Amino acid sequence: MKNTAFTNFHLEAGAKMVPFAGYNMPVEYTGINDEHITVREKVGVFDVSHMGEFHVTGPAATDYLQYITSNDVSALFDGKIQYSCFPNGQGGIVDDLLVYRFSPEKYLLVVNAANIDKDWNWCVKNAGKFGLKTGKDLINASDEIAQLAVQGPMALKAMQKLTKKPVTGMEYYTFKEIEFADIENVLFSTTGYTGAGGCEIYVKNEDGPKLWNAVFEAGKDFGIRPIGLGARDTLRLEMGFCLYGNDINDKTSPIEAGLGWITKFTDSKNFIDKALLLKQKNEGTDRRLKGFVMIERGIPRQHYEVVDANGNIIGEVTSGTMSPMLKQGIGIAYLAKGFWKPDTEIFIRIRNKDLKAKVVNMPFYNK
């Protein structure tokens, strides 16, 4: 079991620790609802050092990424970030990821913790046809980097205290390399998995403790608190963000998953599964990932059956929870054709009871 550069801080704060993706990670400190509301209203800090980071460099870097990712990398400019996925050659998804562009010949890929090895093998497998060499043009830096996600409406204002470079006005999904908290070459990006605003900060492992102490000192006047993985999940679900392993996987296509917006069919982009996914876009799919809210009281959970008024199975819940902000059960499910329109009545089978729900557009919470 791996520890992060911040593990001792979690233990000192009394976090409940759990194994996650091979790491010893904090799931909660004071309680999921309490932590969730802190991020929505103030500022919270997540240890996300378990995420994976791959460097892609060289003259063929852009062409390579155009081939292995679904989104249009040519639309990026220096300092811009893109959400994308790796199609797996069989209509499914290897992983979803972020692509950071430093220059046309220098990128950073940030991948999910549980998929680091799988993603790395996929990237290496496809590197040869573009002449990229492992260890030179393609580098797995996952074990070298510590990362904090500082999220919430007060996050950027608090973090501005730690750098002379302006960060409060940064556009969503952009990044800078700056001096931050007296640490050189910090990667500071306006990204996150909460929908509450804020940033993600990347440093070398050895600079992790210094970063943690500075961030919490800077956020003291803003009600800053450490937040666990439990609240990270409820926050992302309120926004309708996909979670790999729940809502998307090797057998779900980006078109089915409602990720057509990161699947770009431009003439200049020839990517894995392009023909298959274009066919799905044009002809439609038999199921789609949709959001729903509970009308009757109940908490939906992954793998619960979704049925129609006659009890016929029409889908399956992939993620579900009781929304801390809405005080209502919410969830995401793959639904059969005919049940996709907002306000369509569906039923979630919870403990052998079919409880009424309705289809809604996401995000569920939008302050």
Domain hosting 193: range is: 1-285
Q: 60 and 135 share a domain?
A: yes
**Structural domains in the chain (count):** 2
Do residues 272 and 297 both lie within one domain? no
Confidence of residue 115 (pLDDT cuts 50, 70, 90): very high
Query: Are residue 272 and residue 331 in the same domain, yes or no?
Result: no
- Examine the pLDDT at 233 and tell me if it is beyond 90: yes
- The CB-side HSE value for 10 (13 A sphere, CA atoms) comes to 26
Binned at pLDDT 50, 70 and 90, residue 244 comes out as: very high
Residues 271 and 331 grouped into a single domain: no
Region 243-248: what's the mean pLDDT?
98
Is the omega angle on the peptide bond into residue 300 within 30 degrees of 0, that is, cis?
Answer: no
**Residue 367 confidence (pLDDT):** 75
In this prediction the pTM is: 0.97
Domain end residue (candidates: 285, 316, 331): 285
Residues 45 and 138 in one domain: yes
pLDDT surpasses 90 at 54: yes
Mark whether 173 and 111 lie in a shared domain: yes
- Of 285, 312, 332, the residue that ends a domain is 285
Q: What is the pLDDT of residue 154?
A: 98
Tell whether the model's pLDDT for residue 98 goes beyond 90.
yes
Do residue 268 and residue 337 come from a single domain? no
pLDDT above 80: residue 101: yes
Listed as own residue / partner, the contacts of 281-287 with beta carbons closer than 8 Å and 24 or more positions apart are 281/255, 284/337, 285/253, 285/255, 285/256, 286/336, 286/337, 287/256, 287/315, 287/334, 287/335, 287/336, 287/337
No. of H helices and E strands in the chain?
8, 19
The domain spanning residue 307 has which CATH number?
A: 2.40.30.110
Share of the chain above pLDDT 90, in %: 99
- Shared-domain flag, residues 159 and 307: no
Query: For residue 183, what is the domain's CATH number?
Result: 3.30.1360.120
Q: Identify whether residues 269 and 291 lie together within a single domain.
A: no
- Shared domain check, 151 and 62: yes
* Residue at which a domain ends, from 285, 319, 334: 285
The answer to whether residues 335 and 281 belong to one domain is no
Q: Are residues 8 and 131 in the same domain?
A: yes
